[in-house]
């Protein structure tokens, strides 16, 4: 008998909603001008990243104490910087007080103390394995650089069971999207921000489809199922490709453009957004048609938290995702999805996949010429 994962989905939605409200409160308090610390890999991390990861793990660990976690952040910087730790703890405390006024029957569990907060964050930040058992993979703020400017970002959570995605929930607190409007007509943009509201949250369970809901301060709106198979297949000339900020990625964007040109597409890139998970959201909402990831070299890797969750959203909405060898993406590899196991990635609708795949192979073949 298949598992419905109803309790996991319900809690994941509440946890992502809570973390999304927290991150949005940071933006509004600081008027979209958020400062950041620098991690060892030179990427930025903010108080919202730390606090959101603590909230997510606290809520999940209280209900599923045997589950494990894998998150982007560790508490090392907090243990070494008392001032930073105090700011994160203050944010969690303020969220505790605001959460107490919510309408939930039973409030989500929150960190009990500063040290408890450190330990919860480290439950995710110190973990390495995703191949066995139940593992919640999370990126508390995907797109920190654009989050700091008040643009698009995502709060990401995914349950893996023995390395397979079962539940995915992605909160998009800044995404201005009409949940009841027509699919496939809105173009996602960094600056098309839901200033007054709290954006939307998308969710999917394996075999059960993808849904989108509006997020409000205290509640979630009614769900709407997303079925991309009901949309007409776009002509090749009009294909919309989603890309990272041009020139700011380790991927081979010149070859991405060459693939688009070989297909006859005339508007590359059609959608530009920094957050990787927002690219999956754009695909799942029908806002873009194709995502290609061509690494410059085969030894490149990508982080599992940049893909787990968003990946299942697009698949359950009707999309197809494979690497350049026609293989499914392996989420059992731990913190990194390696080029050795999964070289490259193509995400598009099944009706377009073979054409995009062949165009990509043709472009890659030029490397050896």
The CATH number for 103's domain is: 3.30.540.10
Task: Provide mean pLDDT across the span 58-68.
Answer: 98
Whether residue 299 sits in one domain with residue 217: no
Catalytic annotation, pick one of 23, 46, 49, 271: 49
Whether residue 243 sits in one domain with residue 213: no
pLDDT digits (tens, 9 = 90+) for 19-40: 999 999 998 887 656 665 655 5
* CB-based contact 186:177 (threshold 8 Å): yes
Whether residue 261 sits in one domain with residue 190: no
Whether residue 270 sits in one domain with residue 141: no
Last residue of a domain, one of 164, 194, 226: 226
Residue numbers belonging to the annotated binding site: 72, 139, 142, 306
pLDDT digits (tens, 9 = 90+) for 305-325: 999 999 999 999 999 999 999
Query: What's the rounded Cα separation, in Å, for the pair 236 and 240?
Result: 9
Query: What's the rounded Cα separation, in Å, for the pair 176 and 188?
Result: 8
pLDDT digits (tens, 9 = 90+) for 247-288: 777 899 999 999 999 999 998 999 999 999 999 999 999 999
Look at residue 232 and give its three-state secondary structure: coil
Query: What's the rounded Cα separation, in Å, for the pair 26 and 47?
Result: 9
* CB-based contact 193:150 (threshold 8 Å): yes
Whether residue 254 sits in one domain with residue 361: yes
Last residue of a domain, one of 163, 197, 226: 226
pLDDT digits (tens, 9 = 90+) for 117-174: 999 999 999 999 999 999 999 999 999 889 989 999 999 999 999 999 999 999 999 9
Whether residue 247 sits in one domain with residue 132: no
Residue numbers belonging to the annotated binding site for Mg(2+): 72, 139, 142, 306
Q: Could you tell me if residue 359 is inside a domain?
A: yes
pTM of the model: 0.94
How far is CA 250 from its chain centroid?
18
- Whether 49 is catalytic: yes
Whether residue 242 sits in one domain with residue 128: no
Q: What pLDDT was estimated at residue 101?
A: 44
Q: Which pair of structure tokens corresponds to residue 266?
A: 């005339």
Q: What pLDDT was estimated at residue 298?
A: 84
Whether residue 204 sits in one domain with residue 258: no
Sign of CA dihedral 300, 301, 307, 312: positive
Catalytic annotation, pick one of 46, 68, 130, 144: 144
Q: Looking at the 3D structure of the chain, how many domains does it have?
A: 2
Q: Could you tell me if residue 286 is inside a domain?
A: yes
Q: What pLDDT was estimated at residue 42?
A: 44
Q: What are the DSSP E strand ranges found in the chain? A: 37-38, 44-45, 68-71, 134-142, 154-161, 164-172, 200-205, 210-214, 224-226, 242-243, 271-272, 291-293, 301-303, 320-322, 336-338, 345-348
Q: Could you tell me if residue 1 is inside a domain?
A: no
Whether residue 199 sits in one domain with residue 243: no
Whether residue 275 sits in one domain with residue 325: yes
Whether residue 133 sits in one domain with residue 216: yes
The whole domain housing 201 covers 6-226
Last residue of a domain, one of 176, 206, 226: 226
Residue 44 or 117, more confident? 117
CB neighbourhood size of 64 (10 A): 16
Q: What pLDDT was estimated at residue 249?
A: 79
- Whether 130 is catalytic: no
Q: Could you tell me if residue 231 is inside a domain?
A: no
The CATH number for 341's domain is: 3.40.190.80
Query: What's the rounded Cα separation, in Å, for the pair 184 and 203?
Result: 18
Percent of the chain with pLDDT over 90: 82
Residue 178 or 43, more confident? 178
């Amino acid at each position: 008998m298949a598992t419905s994962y109803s309790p996991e989905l319900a809690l994941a939605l509440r946890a992502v909603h809570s973390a999304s409200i927290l991150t949005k409160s940071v933006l509004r308090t600081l008027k979209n001008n958020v400062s950041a610390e620098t991690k060892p890999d030179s990427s930025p991390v903010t108080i919202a990243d730390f606090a959101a990861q603590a909230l997510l793990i606290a809520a999940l660990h209280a209900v599923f104490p045997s589950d494990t976690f894998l998150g982007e952040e560790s508490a090392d910087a907090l243990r070494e910087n008392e001032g930073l730790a105090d700011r994160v703890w203050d944010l969690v405390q303020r969220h505790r007080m605001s959460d107490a006024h919510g309408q939930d029957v039973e409030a989500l569990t929150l960190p009990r103390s500063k040290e408890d907060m450190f330990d919860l964050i480290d439950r995710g930040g110190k973990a390495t394995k995703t191949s066995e058992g139940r593992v919640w993979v999370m990126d508390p703020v995907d797109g920190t650089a654009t989050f700091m400017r008040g643009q698009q970002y995502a709060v990401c959570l995914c349950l893996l069971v023995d390395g397979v995605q079962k539940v995915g929930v992605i909160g998009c607190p800044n995404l201005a999207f009409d949940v009841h409007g027509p699919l496939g007509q809105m173009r996602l943009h960094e600056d098309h921000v839901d200033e007054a509201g709290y954006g939307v949250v998308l969710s999917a369970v394996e075999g059960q489809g993808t849904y989108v809901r509006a997020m409000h301060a205290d509640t979630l709106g009614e769900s709407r199922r997303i079925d991309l198979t009901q949309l007409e297949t776009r002509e090749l000339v009009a294909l919309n490709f989603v890309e990272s900020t041009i020139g700011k990625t380790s991927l081979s964007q010149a070859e991405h453009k060459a693939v688009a040109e070989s297909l006859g597409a005339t508007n590359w890139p059609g959608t530009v957004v920094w957050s990787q998970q927002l690219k999956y959201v754009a695909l799942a909402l029908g806002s873009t048609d194709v995502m290609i990831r061509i690494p410059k070299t085969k030894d490149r890797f990508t982080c599992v938290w940049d893909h787990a969750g968003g990946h299942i959203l697009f698949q359950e909405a009707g999309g197809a995702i494979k690497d350049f060898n026609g293989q499914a993406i392996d989420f059992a590899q731990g913190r990194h999805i390696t080029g050795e196991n999964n070289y490259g990635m193509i995400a598009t609708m099944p009706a377009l996949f073979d054409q995009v795949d062949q165009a990509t192979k043709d472009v890659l073949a030029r490397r050896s010429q």
